[in-house]
Amino acid sequence: MKLADWTFRAFHDGRFKLDGGAMFGVVPKIFWEKHHPADDHNRIDLDLRCLLAEQGDRRILVDTGMGDRWAPKQLDIFALVRRPNQLVAELAEAGITRESITDVILTHLHFDHAGGALRRRDDGGLEPVFPNARHWVQKRHWEWADHPSERDRASFRDEDFKALKEKGDLQLVDGAKEIMPGVRVTPISGHTPGQQMVEFLTDEGSLAYVADLIPFLSQVHVPWIMGFDLNPLLTVTEKKQFLTRAAEDGIVLVFEHDPVHEAATVKFSEGKFVPDEVFLLADRKGNGNP
């Protein structure tokens, strides 16, 4: 997809499964399973969709998936399906080397978003997968991840971010900010303190990678939020505020975890937000583009 001189492409680090009840909180299964069929363990499919945004000599990757560093027991728990180095391999197949990535924006540091930022060297140590990239994280979230609550401690892996601080080019962002021309990050803290939504701004429109604010297209419906959210009422407020703006401005939403639906615009109809146009980034061109 193109907006002005930006080009957007989706890449994947595989798929995994999580408990459907955890992904939908108090929403009864009879409703969500129509959109997300569960397996015998009540798990539903989640994609690990990352976004590559290119403009001139900038190559910006948003989130990095789960990566390779998983034991057999964990692979079984999460039913993780991916080929070795999948994200890097997909990029390479598109002619993009990992060394050419200039920036990695991590929406937050949960293992399914930041696990692919580091890789194991032959000597057992860790190194950044994208060695020449600046890595952007909200300062508040970095501090939270360093001292998480008992409720969400299992969502973080210390080595995923502590090694990044030691070996990578870490940029801690304090609040909403345009971190580079046309790239704005906004804290959204209902899911976890200091998660950041990433928006790409152009004169022809905006595109937002909504991360765990709206993991699935089905969760455009405001009350459908995750049981994982630490502050669910704040998530509801943040969703309503963002979706109001998205509907008014025609913002393109890119979904990180939806295994079927990649991107959409939204509208307000009959008292609720609903999908408007649903599409693949590769199939849609921005206004004014051929």
Per-residue pLDDT of the chain (290 residues; tens, 9 = 90+): 998 899 999 999 999 999 999 999 999 999 999 999 999 999 999 999 999 999 999 999 999 999 999 999 999 999 999 999 999 999 999 999 999 999 999 999 999 999 999 999 999 889 999 999 999 999 999 999 999 999 999 999 888 777 888 877 899 999 999 999 999 999 999 999 999 999 999 999 999 999 999 999 999 999 999 999 999 999 999 999 999 999 999 999 999 999 999 999 999 999 999 999 999 999 987 543 33
Helix (H) or strand (E) holding 21: helix 20-24
* DSSP per-residue codes, 177-216: EEEETTEEEEE--SSSTT-EEEEEEETTEEEEE-GGGS-S
For residue 289, what pLDDT is reported? Answer: 38
The CA–CA distances, whole Å, from 189 to 149, 194, 233 equal 14, 5, 11
Degrees, nearest 5: CA angle 242-247-252: 80
Output the CA torsion sign for 131, 68, 143, 190: positive
For residue 151, what pLDDT is reported? Answer: 95
Burial environment of residue 271 by CB neighbours within 10 A (0 to 12, 13 to 18, 19 or more): exposed
CA dist 39 and 59 (Å) reads 37
Instruction: Write the secondary structure of 223-275 as one string of H (helix), E (strand) and C (coil).
Output: CCCCCCCCCHHHHHHHHHHHHHHHHHHCCEEECCCCCCCCEEEEEEECCEEEE
For residue 161, what pLDDT is reported? Answer: 75
Alpha helices, H only, 71-223:
72-78, 86-93, 111-114, 139-146, 158-167
User: 104 and 51 in contact (C-beta within 8 Å)?
Assistant: no
For residue 286, what pLDDT is reported? Answer: 59
* Of 103, 161, 155, residue with least CA distance to 130: 103
For residue 168, what pLDDT is reported? Answer: 72
**Burial code of 195-218, b = ≥16 C-beta within 10 A, e = fewer?**
bbbbbbbbeebbbbbbbbbbbbbb
CA dist 38 and 20 (Å) reads 7
- Please give the distance of CA 287 from its chain centroid, rounded to a whole number: 25
Pick the CATH number of 2-283 from 3.60.15.10, 3.10.580.10, 3.50.50.60, 3.40.50.300: 3.60.15.10
pTM (predicted TM-score): 0.96
For residue 285, what pLDDT is reported? Answer: 72
